[in-house]
Amino acid sequence: MPLDISGFSIFVLVVVVLAVVLVLMGVKPVTQGYEWTVERFGRYTRTLPPGINWIVPIVDRIGAKMNMMETVLDVPSQEVITRDNAVVQVDGVVFSQVLDAARAAYEVRDLERAILNLTMTNIRTVMGSMDLDELLSQRDKINAQLLNVVDDATEPWGIKVTRIEIKDITPPRDLVDSMARQMKAEREKRALVLEAEGERQAEILRAEGDKRSQILSAEGRREAAFRDAEAREREAEAEAKATTMVSESIASGNVTAINYFVAQRYVDALGKFADSPNQKILFLPLEASSVIGAIGGVAEIAKEAFGGPRPPANGGGGPAGTGGGGRPTPTQGQGPWSGGGGAMAE
């Protein structure tokens, strides 16, 4: 049995198909990281965010599909003349991100080309105002200046320039060789300066050490002299005290004290004669009996001085020319005081 399709059914079917097509045309799914602009009869109306969006079919259409992710643009290498007339090759990279899709789509034509040209122009401006040494040593400063200038210039386009980095700065070969020689000379100069400074410091330290040594030596000599003077003073005091005591003993008529005093001086004198380095021949009464006889002679002198009885010229049964007990008398020139400078014999 043939299907009888009326004209009205065909019309309804066409309307349904057309409605489905229009619905499909009005649904616009936007990918994450992108934004689309919508134009109505050629005029911008709104921006579609990521996700499912709806537009009026036939009346509205998609204008520009803007990438909202941060992108990297390579800056082509170019020659830059520095302030001191050095020619260097410079290239870099630019990191940018679209913040306003509408302005990025309708405020500038060929967005990437505009950003690159703007960056290259400002590289020549900023780096051309610096010397070569400053250019090679202050990349952070260059990057900061470029970022400020380019970001301000791209703000009306809805673009945020997040970073500008100078990759390579290549001076000419002859300039590199000159810089290497200059660096070598500078390092040699610093080495010589450091060596001279070290020698100077060493001389200062040695001089300080010598000065300190001399000061300590002088202080030592002063202390030794003080100690020697103190010792001599005490020795003199002891000698004076001993002399005073002997004098008091003599004054009181004690002959033993003067005998001890004279005998001690006599023995000290003999010791000094014996220690003398000169060649000499001495005839001295070195026997014990002779020393005792000399002391006895001194005692006789002391007795005579104090008014005591003078012994006889030949008393005590001794031989002529001796005192009692066989001791020589000083009047006969045989004691230790006889003879002004000649040898003394027993």
Sign of the alpha-carbon dihedral angle for 4, 10, 16, 22: positive
> Which pLDDT belongs to residue 265?
72
Does 280 map to a domain? Answer: yes
Whether 187 is in a domain gets the answer: no
Q: Cβ contacts of residue 324 below 8 Å, gap of 6+?
A: 311, 315, 316, 318
Contact (CB, 8 A) for 94 and 85: no
Q: Report the pLDDT value the prediction gives residue 7, as an integer from 0 to 100.
A: 74
Alpha carbons 25 and 19: distance in angstroms, whole number: 10
Instruction: Tell me the pLDDT tens digit for each residue of 214-252.
Output: 999 898 888 888 888 888 888 888 878 877 776 777 677
Residues 58 and 77 in one domain: no
For tokens 């003599």, name the residue: 250
User: How many CB atoms are closer than 10 A to CB 163?
Assistant: 14
pLDDT of residue 36: 94
pLDDT per residue as tens digits for the range 116-151: 999 999 999 999 888 888 888 888 999 999 999 999
d(CA 40, CA 35): 17
Shared domain for 44 and 119, answered yes or no, is no
Do 60 and 105 sit in the same domain of this protein?
Answer: no
**What's the pLDDT at 337?**
38
Single out the residue in 156, 171, 186 at which a domain terminates: 171
Same structural domain, 80 and 61: no
Q: How far is CA 82 from the centre of its chain?
A: 38
Pairing between β-strand 34-40 and β-strand 60-67 as defined by DSSP bridges: antiparallel
Query: Is 96:115 a contact under the CB 8 Å cutoff?
Result: yes
* Single-letter residue type at 42: G
Classify residue 236: in a domain, yes or no: no
Q: Does a structural domain hold residue 93?
A: yes
Same domain, 41 and 110: no
Q: Tell me which residues of the chain have a pLDDT lower than 50.
A: 1, 286, 288, 310-346
pTM of the model: 0.51
Packing angle of the helix pair 255-275, 173-251 (nearest 10 deg): 140
Q: What pLDDT sits at residue 164?
A: 93
Residues 279 and 328 in one domain: yes
Query: Are 153 and 134 found together in one domain?
Result: yes
- Our count of domains for the chain comes to 3
Closest CA to 292 of 320, 251, 262, 315: 262
Q: Identify whether 192 is part of a domain.
A: no
Beta carbons within 8 Å of 82's beta carbon, 6+ residues apart: 88, 127, 128, 130, 131, 132, 135
Do 311 and 291 lie in one domain? The reply is: yes
Q: What is the pLDDT of residue 335?
A: 41
- DSSP secondary structure letter of residue 157: G
Question: Domain containing 80 — which CATH number?
Answer: 3.30.479.30
Question: Would 10 be classed as within a structural domain?
Answer: no
User: DSSP code of 155?
Assistant: G
Which one of 138, 171, 204 terminates a domain?
171
**Complete DSSP assignment for 274-340:** HH--S--------SHHHHHHHHHHHHHHHHHHTTPPPPPTT-TTPPTTB-TTSPBPGGGT-STT-SS
The range of the structural domain enclosing residue 258 comes to: 253-332
Q: Is residue 122 part of a domain?
A: yes
Nearest in space to 59 (alpha carbons), one of 79, 38, 75, 77 = 38
Residue that terminates a domain, selected from 66, 98, 124:
66
Q: What is the pLDDT of residue 254?
A: 63
Same domain, 87 and 164: yes
Cβ 163 vs Cβ 147: under 8 Å: yes
96 and 159, same domain (yes or no): yes
139 lies in some domain? yes
Indicate the pairing of strand 43-48 with strand 34-40: antiparallel
* Whole-number pLDDT of residue 33: 92
